[in-house]
Amino acid sequence: MWTSFWDSWALFGDAYLTGILCAVMLSMVGVIQVARREVFAGIAAAQAATLGIAVALSISPLDGDHHSQHGLPWLMGIGFAMLGTMVPSLGRRIGETADSICAWVFLLGASFSVLLLAHSPHGLAEVQRLMLSSLIGADRHDVYAFTALTGTCILLVALAHRQIILVASDPESALAVGLPCRRYGLASSAFVGILLGCSIHTAGSLFTFACLVLPPLAAKSICRTTRSMFLVSPLVAAITSFFAFMLADYYDYPPGQLAAALLAAMVLLLRLLVRR
């Protein structure tokens, strides 16, 4: 299995690296979403990003050379993902629950992204690729971009993990100690939106959502402090993704789905094994 995986590295090395970097970055940000009790906002944002990419493709349809047309879909994906992450706070303002609004955004994104491109074969294939979570298209530029984004995440967590945890888990107390919660909330939504938009464009919505939510849930079972979740969650994500890619190569399964399935099994296993 190892030899086969190593042999495939020459062809898919960039895709594997991009996938692992995505997993590390999203699983770190996912700790914030879990602490904010806004797990569902992640999937709403992921679907909103898919809609953004679909809107971009409907404005500027794809021709055969997909790589020359990254710009607009990328930007629209990020923009819509940012809007999607701000949805829960919007829900509170209009007197609706965050869950209901997230479900609405999810369904709007899922239906309109297909309807918009129903008569554009290339575009529809691209949206279906995003929903299927294929990492195959990732190239060296994606590796550089995700290295930079992951580095930024690590730096932010290292410098401000206490502030991040307090604002996410107990915003009223954060206000009382003088932290500008509204600005933190906006900045965090914008940052999560950027990461989700980039990740969905490259790795698809299932892999993105799985890495955002499942590693923090697994870490929650084994950690004694929220702070340590920022270390354990990316470790779980990286190791599981690596094994998922190896198994996917050997048994010829789609890597995104296999990684999501392994992570889901990992959460269940840890819940059963570790009783805090």
Partner 1 sequence: MTVTGETVKSEWVLRAEDLCLGYGRRIILDRVNFELCAGDFAFLLGENGCGKSTLMHALLGDLSIQRGKIHRNKDHASARHVGFVPQRRVFDESLPMTVEEFMDLGLIGLKLSRSQRRSRCAEALELVGLNDVLSMSLSALSGGMRQRVVLARALARRPRLLYLDEPSICLDVASTAGFWRLLRDLHRDRALTILCISHDPWAASKLATQHLTVTDGSILVGPPEDLLAAMER
Q: How far is the CB of 177 from partner 1 (least distance, A)?
A: 5
Q: Considering the rule CB under 8 A, would residue 10 count as an interface residue with partner 1?
A: no
Q: Considering the rule CB under 8 A, would residue 223 count as an interface residue with partner 1?
A: yes
Q: Considering the rule CB under 8 A, would residue 41 count as an interface residue with partner 1?
A: no
Nearer to partner 1, 66 or 227 (CB): 227
Residues whose CB is less than 8 angstroms from the CB of residue 118 and which lie 6 or more positions away in sequence, other chains included: 124
d(CA 198, CA 186): 18
Q: Considering the rule CB under 8 A, would residue 275 count as an interface residue with partner 1?
A: no
Q: Considering the rule CB under 8 A, would residue 214 count as an interface residue with partner 1?
A: no
Q: Considering the rule CB under 8 A, would residue 4 count as an interface residue with partner 1?
A: no
Q: How far is the CB of 36 from partner 1 (least distance, A)?
A: 9
Q: Considering the rule CB under 8 A, would residue 63 count as an interface residue with partner 1?
A: no
13-52 as b/e, with b when 16 or more CB fall inside 10 Å?
ebbbbbbbbbbbbbbbbbbbbbbbebbbbbbbbbbbbbbb
Mask 160-189, x = binds partner 1 (CB under 8 A)?
--xx-xx--xxxxxxxxxxx-xx-------
Q: How far is the CB of 42 from partner 1 (least distance, A)?
A: 16
Q: Considering the rule CB under 8 A, would residue 29 count as an interface residue with partner 1?
A: no
Q: Given CA atoms 253, 259, 241, 14 in this order, what sign does their dihedral have?
A: positive
Q: How far is the CB of 131 from partner 1 (least distance, A)?
A: 30
**Using CB under 8 A as the criterion, which residues of the chain lie in contact with partner 1 when the complex forms?**
34-35, 37, 93, 162-163, 165-166, 169-179, 181-182, 220, 223-229, 276
